[in-house]
Amino acid sequence: MKVNYLIVGAGLTGLTFANLLAQNENNKILIIEKRHHIGGNAYDSYNANHILIHNYGPHIFHTNNQTVWDYLSQFTEWCDYQHRVLSFVDGQFIPMPITLETINQLYNTNFSQFEMVDFIESQKESVVPIKSSEDVALNNAGRDIYEKFFMNYTTKQWGVAPSELDPAVISRIPFRFNRDTRYFTDRYQGIPKAGYTKMCEQMIDRPNIKVMLNTDYKEVRDAIDYDKMIYTGPIDYFYDHQFGKLKYRSVRFEMEDHDCESFQKSAVVNYPNDYDFTRITEYKKITGQQGRKTTIMKEFPCDGEEPFYPFPTKEWQELYLLYKAKADAEKNVIFAGRLAEYRYYNMDAVVDQAMRFFEMRFL
């Protein structure tokens, strides 16, 4: 088989590359995906209760990048959705991220915005230099808030204490001195009206794009004649784990159907200190679907075979750099995306990155 571009992986990175490359009708593109579906971790499907489920955990699209928003809007209409999260702390369901509402409910106070600033300042522990996620939380919020909201949740999520994790892990969590309880404040927010899978199908609905599912690219690459490869899988797998396997954190999902219209107060409820799971998602509250039954998903972080999150410690970042040095020397392969770059990306970021790569390398 002869193609111009072989794309390994049918997540948003690979699909964006495929769509952009396919605009030149002379380009022949083959996407190879090991899973049974396209869309990567954004894949969604309807369950037996006819509820649209995000099979790999909740995916809320949000961005301040109008270019990315306009690009994806070619392939989907959007349902307006403002994501709100509660955390079960001290027997209460408290708004997350940390806001004025969070502090007042947690401590049974009636602080003004300025009084909250003074209160947080009184709680902070000065940590210099900041070397870990624990340092970030102590420096920004103090020990009590750290222990109630972050310490145990982060330990469950990664299997190690926050004191061992890169500062960027907790730095990603919003912290506000106002009453805005939305989890994201980006200008553009929403859920694809027909689902992420339908959006992804539209992205590659072109005659010069072919897709092979349930296929490991290594099993067929010798039979494919291609000009360039775009690789979005785990970088260590590409090099047959030459320097050793990189560590990834995985998640085990448990679905439950309930014979009720509503299971919980918000779409997502975090459980930082109780139970083995980190959070429960009720999908009807994300998609806006109605019905007398509902479906929830519990998430149990684990060290599984499916790579979800690159491990944010110095040891594994240093190992990745060995692979990156080899990747940078490749003439015929582009490494892009979360697994290929051993880096956490939001959805808008992977689309933006693919668009920038395309402009730099193919235009």
pLDDT digits (tens, 9 = 90+) for 52-105: 999 999 999 999 999 999 999 999 999 999 999 999 999 999 999 999 999 999
Each residue's pLDDT tens digit, 24-36? 999 999 999 999 9
Instruction: Render 280-294 in DSSP notation, one character per residue.
Output: EEETHHHH----S-E
Percent of the chain with pLDDT over 70: 99
Identify the residue whose tokens are 């952009």: 20
Contact residues for 264 (Cβ-Cβ < 8 A; gap 6+) = 86, 280, 282, 296
Contact residues for 178 (Cβ-Cβ < 8 A; gap 6+) = 99, 100, 113
**Model confidence at 173: pLDDT above 80:** no
**Model confidence at 175: pLDDT above 80:** no
Residue 140: its pLDDT value, please? 87
| Intrachain domains 2-78+189-245+310-362 and 85-171 with the same fold | no
Each residue's pLDDT tens digit, 334-359? 999 999 999 999 999 999 999 999 99
CATH class label, 2-78+189-245+310-362? alpha beta
The domain made up of 85-171 is a member of CATH 3.40.50: no
| Mean pLDDT, the chain, integer | 95
Mean pLDDT of 273-287: 96
pLDDT band at 312 (very low <50, low <70, confident <90, very high): confident
Each residue's pLDDT tens digit, 182-200? 999 999 999 999 999 999 9
Which residues sit opposite 18 in a β-bridge? Answer: none
CA distances from 316 to 10, 138, 166, 235, 324 (A): 25, 25, 11, 13, 12
pLDDT band at 361 (very low <50, low <70, confident <90, very high): confident
Percent of the chain with pLDDT over 90: 89
The DSSP bridge pattern shows strands 225-231 and 2-8 to be parallel
pTM of the model: 0.94
Residue 1: its pLDDT value, please? 86
Which residue from 331, 228, 231 is spatially nearest to 3, judged by alpha carbons? 228
Residue 7: its pLDDT value, please? 98
**Model confidence at 169: pLDDT above 90:** no
Identify the residue whose tokens are 């980006």: 186
**Model confidence at 171: pLDDT above 80:** no
Task: Establish whether the linkage from the previous residue to 97 is cis, with ω within 30° of 0.
Answer: yes
Q: How many CB atoms lie within 10 A of CB 110?
A: 7
Which residue from 234, 194, 200 is spatially nearest to 217, judged by alpha carbons? 234
**Model confidence at 170: pLDDT above 90:** no
Each residue's pLDDT tens digit, 204-223? 999 999 999 999 999 999 99
Domains of the chain, by residue range, sit at 2-78+189-245+310-362, 85-171
pLDDT band at 362 (very low <50, low <70, confident <90, very high): confident
Residue 363: its pLDDT value, please? 61
Mean pLDDT of 161-167: 90
Three-class SS state of 209: strand
Residue 111: its pLDDT value, please? 96
- What radius of gyration, in Å, describes the C-alpha atoms of the chain? 22
**Model confidence at 145: pLDDT above 70:** yes
The DSSP bridge pattern shows strands 188-192 and 78-79 to be antiparallel
**Model confidence at 174: pLDDT above 80:** no
Mean pLDDT of 236-260: 96
